[in-house]
Amino acid sequence: MTIAISNHYGSRLSLSFGLDVSSPPPYGNPQPTELADSSSTQYIYPDEWAGRVAIGPNLNPYGSKIEGSFKNSSVDIDVSYVDGYSVPITCSSNGEAFTGCNLDLFQARCENKVDGPVCLNPARDIADGPAATFFAPCAGAAYTFPNDNGANRDGLSSNFVSCCIGTSCAAPLRQLPNSTI
């Protein structure tokens, strides 16, 4: 499986990689890195991989994430703001945006902003939500609480996923139409 990541955020971003227990790393075992504005990169993942890519202005592990798994040749991908939010991310496959939220949530007031900046999510330990006010515009499109399962897309028909960071990225249909902050 390949995940391509494009930076349309307007400034350089940091990427770090996390693995689930006993998961093999992406090919090349990438280390934390920076992605320049208006640039892209891609990572290739072996079968049985499960993990995440944290993305934000710095390496704060509580920011926005691309999460996924590739098991028995089945692809499962989502965008998560469960720990917190740092940047807007959407992911597409076969030309269709299917998960994530392209809204700049920092247009609203964050009650618990930390270095990054990252807005920590007060609903991260509330399994069935609801989404906290700051995160609510993205509920159901990106994970905004642990069981916000409308944001999940498993069983993709393609092994190529393209994720885009920024407000100009295509929004999935499940992102609430006319969502405002």
| CATH number reported for the structural domain that contains residue 55 in this entry | 2.60.110.10
Q: Say if 172 falls within a structural domain.
A: no
Does residue 174 lie within any of the structural domains? no
How many domains does one find in the chain?
1
In a domain, 111, yes or no: yes
Helix and strand tally (H, E) in the chain?
A: 0, 14
Give a yes or no: residue 98 inside a domain: yes
Residue 171 lies in a domain: no
Q: Is 99 within 8 Å of 139 (Cβ atoms)? A: no
105-128 residue pLDDT tens: 999 999 999 998 999 999 999 999
pLDDT (tens digit per residue) in 37-96: 999 999 999 999 999 999 999 999 999 999 999 998 889 999 999 999 999 999 999 999
Q: Could you tell me the residue range of the domain that residue 60 belongs to?
A: 2-165
In a domain, 69, yes or no: yes
Strands (E), the chain: 2-7, 13-19, 33-35, 40-44, 49-56, 65-71, 74-80, 84-85, 89-93, 96-101, 113-114, 118-120, 153-156, 160-165
